[in-house]
Structure 1
Amino acid sequence: MADPKGFLKVTERELPKRRPVPVRIMDWKEVYEPGDSAQLRRQAGRCMDCGVPFCHQGARWAT
């Protein structure tokens, strides 16, 4: 189970290194280099598990 207070422990957002633009325009692959599994685990621990569906996609609640 995820740590419910993980978002308090890991506050900084860590992004993988971006691939150079001249390389990216030659293919349809990901923008970012493959990430380190330890880094991915730390960043996944930032999730508050709040129950908001698709919050990682920037969805907003209807007002």
Structure 2
Amino acid sequence: MVRDSKGTQPGNPMWSDGWGWSWFDADEPLKTTSTDYRSDCKGCHLPAKASDWIYVSAYPVLRH
């Protein structure tokens, strides 16, 4: 995820909710396999919605 608080990519299915989203498989780290963050990413991040979609509980440094 890349922070996009200014909404620089309107209409791009991988950019919204303040972030640029993407998934990379370990065997091809230079190629994203996601095509739309709503169907490929957001579902897994719903539990972290209150912390701006980021899982911070296991990473204390991210809470600041």
Question: If the TM-score is normalised by the length of the shorter chain, which range does it land in?
Answer: under 0.3
| Structure ranking higher on relative contact order (CA contacts 8 Å, 6+ apart) | 1
Q: TM-score, normalised by structure 1?
A: 0.28
Q: TM-score, normalised by structure 2?
A: 0.28
